């Protein structure tokens, strides 16, 4: 597997970082996950914009211009066989003696990228939907930053795995829907799609934006506003979105069926719109 590290494309087993890297020591860095379809990075400029937002959020200068990122991303894609790839991009504050404060003078950031085949969600998940659990959102107040320090997300996601479920849906103060441990969440009630607002409590998902764009394009009633836990529990349908999972129906929550317990009509519409959109925008057919 060829990866990118600090200016070089090299086999993963030859890519090494220092034990003093602040990403390793403090989780001091940010990342992006970019889906690649037909060898084209999907929504690259939006991912680069969010990357800039994350870098600004941790006061780390962007080591590359968008044009340079585009070139690096395309070169990494060209080193891999799969037409569809899962591209991971990661920047840390670099290598310095251990001290919480930023290195002064600043040191060179560590820039790492890997790519692996992107597999679509299994048919069974598309047909039957996924089961989720709910939990209190106990993360920090800058969840809009795509930070590599993911321990809360790791623990919250593992709660779902331990319960035999796919994802954990998070509620602030046990009351307000934010997102999933690694995904965004939508609620459907009486034919309207509801999404929580993009604020400091959730990651501004690239797929989340596409879902809302598709809803607008196809005249699907939709509203962005705070959503209570009671509304989630009374939903007709629940939908999960992320770059790697695309759009999945949530058919069980905390052991109970969501709506009639099957993927719903609105999920079906959005899923089809998304696949068509991907084909039209991305596929080199
Ligand atoms: N996660 N919220 C969180 C906390 C996430 O980690 C993700 C994505 C999303 C969805 O964002 P997007 O649509 O841009 O993928 C929302 C990625 C896939 C990951 O960490 O692997």
- The answer on 131 and 106 residing in a single domain is no
What band does 282 get if pLDDT is binned at 50, 70 and 90? Answer: confident
The predicted-structure confidence for 106-115, as pLDDT tens digits, reads as follows: 999 999 999 9
- The answer on 220 and 192 residing in a single domain is yes
Give DSSP secondary structure letters for the chain. -EEEETTEEEEGGG----TTBHHHHH--EEEEEEEEETTEETTHHHHHHHHHHHHHHTT---SS-HHHHHHHHHHHHHT---SSEEEEEEEE--B-SS-SSPPSS--PPEEEEEEEEPPPPPHHHHHH-EEEEEEE--S-S-TTS-BS--HHHHHHHHHHHHTT-SEEEEEETTTEEEEETTBEEEEEETTEEEE---STTS---HHHHHHHHHHHHTT--EEE---BHHHHHT-SEEEEEETTTEEEEEEEETTEESTTSS--HHHHHHHHHHHHHHHHHT---
CA angle 181, 185, 186 (to 5 degrees): 175
pLDDT at 285: 44
Q: How far is the CA of 104 from the centre of ligand 1 (A)?
A: 32
Task: Please give the tally of structural domains in the chain.
Answer: 2
Of the residues 82, 117, 152, which one is the last residue of a structural domain? 117
Pocket test for ligand 1, best of 86, 160, 183, 211 (most atoms within 8 A of CB): 183
- Cβ 92 under 6 angstroms from ligand 1: no
- Cβ 115 under 6 angstroms from ligand 1: no
pLDDT at 251: 98
Q: Which of 49, 59, 116, 146 is catalytic?
A: 146
**Residue 277 pLDDT more than 50?**
yes
- The answer on 268 and 145 residing in a single domain is yes
Q: What CATH number is associated with residue 10?
A: 3.30.470.10
- Cβ 150 under 6 angstroms from ligand 1: no
- The answer on 213 and 92 residing in a single domain is no
- The answer on 225 and 133 residing in a single domain is yes
Of the residues 72, 95, 117, which one is the last residue of a structural domain? 117
The ligand 1 atom nearest the CA atom of 207: 13
- The answer on 133 and 270 residing in a single domain is yes
What band does 147 get if pLDDT is binned at 50, 70 and 90? Answer: very high
Indicate the average pLDDT of the chain: 97
Please say if 198 is a catalytic residue: no
- The answer on 184 and 236 residing in a single domain is yes
- The answer on 84 and 182 residing in a single domain is no
Of the residues 65, 96, 117, which one is the last residue of a structural domain? 117
- Cβ 168 under 6 angstroms from ligand 1: no
Q: What CATH number is associated with residue 173?
A: 3.20.10.10
* Residue whose CA is at the smallest distance from ligand 1 atom 20: 182
* Residue whose CA is at the smallest distance from ligand 1 atom 21: 33
- The answer on 34 and 107 residing in a single domain is yes
The predicted-structure confidence for 217-263, as pLDDT tens digits, reads as follows: 999 999 999 999 999 999 999 999 999 999 999 999 999 999 999 99
- The answer on 133 and 90 residing in a single domain is no
pLDDT at 284: 52
Q: How far is the CA of 178 from the centre of ligand 1 (A)?
A: 13
- The answer on 130 and 112 residing in a single domain is no
- 90: domain range? 2-117
- The answer on 230 and 105 residing in a single domain is no
């Amino acid at each position: 597997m060829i990866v990118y590290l600090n200016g070089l494309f090299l086999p993963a087993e030859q890519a090494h970082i220092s034990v003093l890297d602040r990403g390793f020591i403090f989780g001091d860095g940010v990342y992006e996950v970019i889906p690649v379809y037909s060898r084209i990075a999907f929504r690259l400029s939006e991912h680069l914009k969010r990357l800039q937002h994350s870098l600004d959020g941790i006061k780390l200068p962007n080591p590359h211009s968008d044009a340079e990122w585009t070139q690096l991303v395309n070169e990494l894609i060209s080193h891999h066989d799969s037409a569809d790839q899962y591209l991971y991009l990661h920047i840390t504050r670099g290598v310095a003696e251990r001290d919480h404060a930023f290195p002064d003078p600043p040191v060179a950031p560590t820039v790492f990228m890997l790519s692996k085949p992107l597999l679509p969600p299994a048919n069974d998940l598309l047909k039957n939907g996924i089961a989720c659990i709910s939990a209190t959102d106990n993360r920090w107040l800058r969840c809009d930053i795509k930070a590599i320090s993911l321990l809360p997300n790791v623990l919250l996601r593992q709660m779902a795995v331990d319960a035999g479920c796919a994802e954990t849906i998070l509620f602030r103060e046990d009351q307000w829907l934010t997102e999933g441990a690694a995904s965004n969440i939508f609620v459907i009630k009486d034919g309207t799609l509801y999404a929580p607002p993009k604020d400091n409590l959730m990651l501004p998902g690239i797929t989340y934006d596409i879902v809302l764009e598709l809803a607008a394009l196809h005249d699907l009633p939709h509203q962005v506003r705070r959503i209570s836990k009671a509304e989630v529990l009374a939903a007709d349908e629940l939908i999960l979105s992320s770059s790697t999972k695309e759009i999945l129906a949530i058919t069980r929550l905390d052991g109970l069926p969501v709506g009639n317990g099957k993927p719903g009509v609105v999920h079906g519409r959005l899923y089809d719109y998304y696949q068509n959109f991907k084909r039209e925008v991305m596929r080199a057919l």
